[in-house]
Amino acid sequence: MFEIFGIPSTALFGQLLIGLINGSFYALLSLGLAVIFGMLNIINFSHGAQYMMGAFTAYLILKYSGLGYWPALIIAPIIVGFTGIIVERLFLQRLYKLDHLYGLLLTFGLALIFEGVARNYFGSAGLPYTVPESLRGGQNLGFMFLPNYRAWVIAASLVICIGTWFVIERTRLGAYLRAATENPTLVRAFGINVPRMITLTYGFGVSLAAFAGVMAAPIYNVSPQMGSELIIVVFAVVVIGGMGSILGAIVTGFGLGVVEGLTKVFFPEASNTVVFVIMAIVLLVRPAGLFGRRA
């Protein structure tokens, strides 16, 4: 154990680790938001609620079928992604002709419904979800203590984020997606089913949120408010990164998590607000966001 700037290394690296973990969630969630916004031009306010639904689905799967963490990691995002598809077909489709703000309002209303229903059935205290057997315990690295599960969270998020970026930026499917964002009519003329692509994209974005929710369940406790507390910070992350950019979402997500962690060590009172302060500064200096394309 050594000291840096008068802070013991266990504290510094511990907070950095927590910062990276928070950053993983910021990155996953802002990635989902960026994907949905890129395709549908809708701000998915219910993203936080869908993240919460992912966690609750994992909890319920465990309770009623005994299936644990690993199956839940796959099943829960599929289930919640499916509800996303229903939402898109039933509600969002009708709003594409209207001002984008209606999409924001509708998904806000949906978020209230999801959170309210969860609160009704589960109360607003947190429900327990245990860390899976295989990931319990941790490594004592000398300069800090690293719980295994939290290391897994960071690794898994990185893989998913980079994987998604790769698909969108480097594969043909991604090229179709990006083309359909620019010019849907032309892409349709090429025979590609654009409405279906939109629906599936929304479903994918939602399942990203749910995946983050399952990963969060063992560390953050499953509670109905877990999404709404997080979503507004994620909005700020997205504004800082730039709405259209996938890479921006990932880099800014992880980066801001680390910044928040560092702030907790050196200036704890500001840790809640540092992301918003950075957002204000970025808006003054570079309104399109750090990686934004549209000004």
Q: Is 110 in the site for another protein (CB under 8 A)?
A: yes
Among 11, 151, 200, 259, binds another protein (CB under 8 A): 11
Return the residues of window 22-61 that contact another protein according to CB under 8 A: 43
From 11-19, 60-68, 169-177, 247-255, give the range in contact with another protein by CB under 8 A.
11-19
Among 65, 162, 268, 293, binds another protein (CB under 8 A): 268
Q: For residues 123 and 142, which CB has a smaller minimum distance to another protein in the complex? A: 123
Question: Least Å distance between CB 217 and another protein?
Answer: 11
Question: Least Å distance between CB 283 and another protein?
Answer: 6
Q: Give, to the nearest 10 degrees, the angle between helix 9-40 and helix 246-266.
A: 150
Q: How far apart are CA 291 and CA 30, in angstroms?
A: 13
H/E stretch holding 284: helix 274-285
Mark 94-114 as b/e (b = at least 16 C-beta within 10 Å).
Answer: ebeeeeeeebeebbeebbeeb
Contact by Cβ (8 Å): 225, 124: yes
Measure Cα distances from 249 to 81, 218, 227, 244, 295 in Å.
20, 25, 18, 9, 17
Q: Which residues bind another protein (CB under 8 A)?
A: 8, 10-11, 14-15, 18, 43, 91, 94-95, 97-102, 104-106, 108-117, 119-120, 123-126, 128, 131, 138, 140, 145, 147, 219-221, 223, 226, 228, 232-233, 235-236, 238-239, 243, 261, 264, 268-269, 272-273, 276-277, 279-280, 283-284, 287
